[in-house]
Amino acid sequence: MQTSLILIKPDGVQRRLTGRILSRFEEKGLQIVGARFMKIPLELAETHYEAHKERPFYPGLVQYMTSSPVLALALRGKSSIAVIRKMLGATFGSQADPGTIRGDFAISDGYNLVHASDSPEAAEKELGLFFPEGTVDYGMADTPWVYDVESDLG
């Protein structure tokens, strides 16, 4: 099982899409192990996006991410990082396939609704930034059905 950081970005919050986006992840079978509605402090945004510091879009990205609240989520599931990124679709909404979150809800190439960790290493770092107290471990009653674990079906 992997845990990934998801940020429903300011445009997703302002467009009232948080519930619809979150429900897509839950319907897929991913488990919410952390949730935090917050306005990202400038220092956290700068740290989170420090890999892009030298890129021309960095100042605008930091400004955008601190402009309005986000919903930070920790989602757990089998191969969750790859599954979530596939569910999101291409980075730019105008290029994302229908059926993906960005393909269904985004057209902008600047505002793309959701951030997701792109590797286990990135997930570990990002989860530490947004959930320093850790995440919640608990069992789900539907796990045998979601993951086809016949031995647990009784």
| Active site residues per annotation | 115
Core vs surface per residue 117-148: b (16+ CB within 10 A) or e: beeeeebeebbeebbeeebeeeeeeeeeeeee
Distance from the Cα of residue 132 to its chain's centroid? 16
Segment holding 8, helix H or strand E: strand 2-8
